[in-house]
Amino acid sequence: MFLLKRIIIGVCVLLIISSMIFSHPGQAVDAEKRVEEETVISMRISDYQVYLKNHPPLDRLYRQGETCVFLVNSKELKSVRQAGAAILTQESLDSFLKKLPGTDALSRQAGDINGAYHNYNETRTLLQELESRFPSLAQVTNIGYSIEGRELNVIKISDNVSSEEQEPNIFIAGCHHAREWISVEVPLLFAQYLLEQYPDNPEVRRAVNGAQIYIMPLVNPDGLEYSIHTYRMWRKNRRYNGNFSWGVDINRNYGYMWGYDNEGSSPNPWSELYRGAGPFSEPETDAVRRFLLDHPPAGCLSYHNYGQLLLYPWGYTYEPTPDAGEMEMIAIEMSYRIFQVSGRFYEVGSSEALYLTNGGTIDWVYGTFGAPSYTVELPPDSFKEGGFFTSLELINSTFAENLPAMLYFVNYFITEEKKEKTRQNKTRIRKPIVKK
């Protein structure tokens, strides 16, 4: 009888612990951190290409000559060793991060919209304040909820904001990846700039009067909160996948050519590039899908960092799109305008030039609507120069150098010729290139 009681008590304790972990997976921080012990390693590109034949892709930080530097967890490190790939260098993530510039971006400074990083609540509040200050020009809409129940907010900016006009829709998004904090700030500052400068700036007036501009600064609010409060390098959303694995890369979860291969995304829930259980399986991407189907875009900008790149489709294949010439021209014009402000060069190319991706935002937007779409990788140029940790003092200058390019992009679609092409594209679906 005594033994039976001990067994029953033990089972009850296990059930309580299990319920604590699995009903609130985001709170099981210690268990997750033990599994997610992360290390920075480097290996030859030739070895990595061999590794990719039988393993999912790793989280690449940067390339240096014929070697690449990766961020790996304990499982990935074990798989690299078992595959026989030569690890050239290895050090803890903490040690690696201490060497980087921009260390003030390892933490967050709340405050005014200028010169600070914003969490979910602050971003939401600022959007609401803009709507309140400019009620005839701005309208905030909740288009859905994240996996943890946070609102997914879009601010519409237009001269007749409460009406649906026959004008091109421009969609601008930030923070698909949680650790890319600067990608929240550039779209947020653009919204503020458009509204505050509307009375006196002719270029802004043309954009706001001629287009319906939809800005979604924060696509991944759960991931951002986790990156701020728990683990700065977190990338994915906060879905619990089971077996102590968290997160889907929502920029691999869009439906166009989702899961095309295992190089451009990963079927492995442990991977930083995990594409999810199916196309649009995540509430964040499904909300974007439903919103854009109701508001077909003429053009799309999706902000990320780092790399100083202007990338256009396709990402899933090396084959060019039917509109590659036009999209390259737009990107070159944007890059030139950035260079005129800061002297900083943003490289132009199709998305696969960085690395192959499938299930990405811009492939889906272009593939579905025929709309010129871009991933804008903000500064710095490399991880060694700060990577995801853009210093607080560089937030405003990063926005300032991108501002002329953003205004050019919006105004590009306002001509009558482009309006007509936009109307045609809204009924045209791009057929994917079939893998042979």
In the block, which residue shows the tokens 């700036």? 201
β-pair partners for 375: 302, 311
In the block, which residue shows the tokens 């903000």? 378
| Signed CA dihedral, 53, 58, 63, 64: sign only | negative
Q: Do 39-92 and 108-425 show the same overall fold?
A: no
Helix, strand or coil, per DSSP, at residue 200: coil
Give the class (CATH, top level) of 108-425.
Answer: alpha beta
What CATH number is given for 39-92 in this structure? 3.30.70
Distance CA 88, CA 236 (A): 27
Residue spans per domain, the chain: 39-92, 108-425
Across the beta sheet with 169-174, the strand order is 138-145, 151-157, 212-216, 169-174, 297-305, 373-378, 309-312, 347-350
**What CA–CA distances, in Å, run from 425 to 298, 370, 373?**
8, 5, 13
Number of residues assigned to the chain: 436
Peptide bond into 380 cis (omega under 30): yes
Distance CA 84, CA 139 (A): 56
* Catalytic machinery residues: 377
Residue by residue, pLDDT tens for the chain (436 residues) are 433 444 344 434 333 333 333 333 333 343 344 334 688 999 998 898 888 888 888 888 877 778 888 888 888 898 899 888 889 889 887 777 777 665 555 555 444 455 589 999 999 999 999 999 999 999 999 999 999 999 999 999 999 999 999 999 999 999 999 999 999 999 999 999 999 999 999 999 999 999 999 999 999 999 999 999 998 889 999 999 998 899 999 999 999 999 999 989 999 998 999 999 999 999 999 999 999 999 999 999 999 998 999 999 999 999 999 999 999 999 999 999 999 999 999 999 987 666 789 999 999 999 999 999 999 999 988 777 778 888 888 999 999 999 999 999 999 999 755 656 555 554 444 444 433 3
- Identity of the amino acid at 74: S
pTM for this model (two decimals)? 0.82
